[in-house]
Amino acid sequence: MEFELEPTLESIITQDTLKWIFVGGKGGVGKTTTSSSIAVQLALTHPNDQFLLISTDPAHNLSDAFCQKFGKDARKVEGLSNLSCMEIDPEAAMSDLQQQAQQYNNDPNDPLKSMMSDMTGSIPGIDEALSFMEVLKHIKNQKVDENDDNKDQISYKTIIFDTAPTGHTLRFLQLPSTLQKLLGKFQALSGKFGPMLNMLGGGVNQQDMFEKLNEVQKNVTEVNEQFTNPDLTTFVCVCISEFLSLYETERMIQELMSYQMDVNSIVVNQLLFADDDEKPCKRCVSRWKMQKKYLDQMNELYEDYHLVKMPLLGTEIRGVDNLKRFSQFLLKPYDPKVDGAIVTEIEEK
């Protein structure tokens, strides 16, 4: 191979145009650590810009990763003034939305009353889309609030998403055309039957409904345009060097590519690097052999990806300082001979 991509995330960290970075993978492969590390590195590399790290995982671990409590609203990380974190439960945002819809419409005889919940129940991807819209709206509100408080414009340069392992958070990207078609139908229907429903006593309420749907459609189109633009959005896959994890990663990459999303980096976590251990433990050596086997396969398979290899450390990586130390290997490949000390040096918190 004459042409090989450097095994780091440098291109992502230094790329100036990126607005969204998604970090995804199956549970337990180190998504949160990786997304936190990326966020920390971004914040360190661009000290003059603001960054936001969001976890949409209902089992929030950002608080644990940074040893600091985060909530629904963005809060700055102590010790890293240009990085904020927030934890959102998309399900909760969704139920908020439904409650809102019910508030709109409390006439028990209105035929359109259950439309919202029916719709969210019947179309695959639309509930994800709606909940994602809610998350985005929440982020936008966040900015507005800060504007009011600080009187100077703070907009986040890049927003890093720590996605939930179970939810196909981005599944709605699959259905932009379907959604648009459907919403177009709804619009046509509202044009045709709106007056009739008005006569039947539906009132003005469904006008609000349709306006809301139109708004959703507009947002979906906008978001899709942004997310399929490789200059604005990228996806970082996280995996460990084991068969099932690789298999799931492959499937995820295929899925993301079907959404026309840009994927060019894979972070392989929890590698043992047991070659040069002074007192080699048998288990580590044999497990490292297995990991190397899969790493070789990955090198062959993902030639045109940045394959970042991260070591498995002695303890959990928690706290800003530890994250800073760990995350440098996203930019400079980990060398077990030189950097081996970090494995045991990370202090527990």
Active site amino acids = 57
254 binds another protein (CB under 8 A): yes
Kindly indicate which of the ranges 99-107, 212-220, 241-249, 314-322 contains the residues binding another protein, using the contact rule CB under 8 A.
241-249
Stretch that binds another protein, among 163-171, 186-194, 240-248, 341-349 (CB under 8 A): 240-248
* Piece in contact with another protein (CB under 8 A), picked from 84-92, 146-154, 174-182, 298-306: 298-306
Check binding of 148 to another protein (CB under 8 A). no
Provide, for the chain, the percentages of residues in helix, strand and coil under a 3-state DSSP scheme, each rounded to the nearest 5: 50, 15, 35
Alpha-carbon span 349 to 335, nearest angstrom: 25
**Torsion of Cα atoms, 34 then 58 then 17 then 299, to 10°:** 40
Answer yes or no: are the C-beta atoms of 12 and 252 closer than 8 Å. Answer: no
304 binds another protein (CB under 8 A): no
Residue with smaller CB distance to another protein, 276 or 296: 296
Q: Which of residues 305-344 bind another protein (CB under 8 A)?
A: none
Nearer to another protein, 2 or 300 (CB): 300
Rule CB under 8 A: say whether 247 interacts with another protein. Answer: yes
Determine which residue in the list 294, 326, 329, 334 makes contact with another protein, applying CB under 8 A: 294
Residue whose CB is less far from another protein, 254 or 315: 254
Is residue 124 a contact residue for another protein (CB under 8 A)?
no
The reply to whether 277 sits near another protein by the rule CB under 8 A is no
Rule CB under 8 A: is residue 297 a binding residue for another protein? yes
- From residue 99, give the alpha-carbon distance in Å to each of 57, 64, 72: 22, 31, 18
Residues 196-225 that bind another protein (CB under 8 A): none
CA separation, residue 204 to residues 10, 90, 119, 207 (Å): 54, 29, 20, 5
Give the shortest CB-257-to-another protein separation in angstroms.
Answer: 10
Binders in 25-54 for another protein, by CB under 8 A = none
Phi and psi of 271, rounded to 5°?
Answer: -85, 145
* Residues in binding contact with another protein, number by CB under 8 A: 11
Q: Which is nearer to another protein, 152 or 300 (CB)?
A: 300
Residues 165/25, Cβ–Cβ less than 8 Å: yes
Q: Is the dihedral of CA 30, 33, 35, 38 positive or negative?
A: negative
Q: How far apart are CA 56 and CA 63, in angstroms?
A: 13
Start-end of H helices in the chain? 10-14, 31-45, 62-66, 90-104, 115-122, 126-150, 176-200, 205-227, 243-258, 282-301, 320-327, 336-339, 342-345
Where does this chain touch another protein (CB under 8 A) — which range of 5-13, 56-64, 200-208, 292-300?
292-300
Contact 35/310 with Cβ under 8 angstroms?
no
* Positions in the binding site for another protein (CB under 8 A): 243, 246-247, 250, 254, 294, 296-298, 300-301
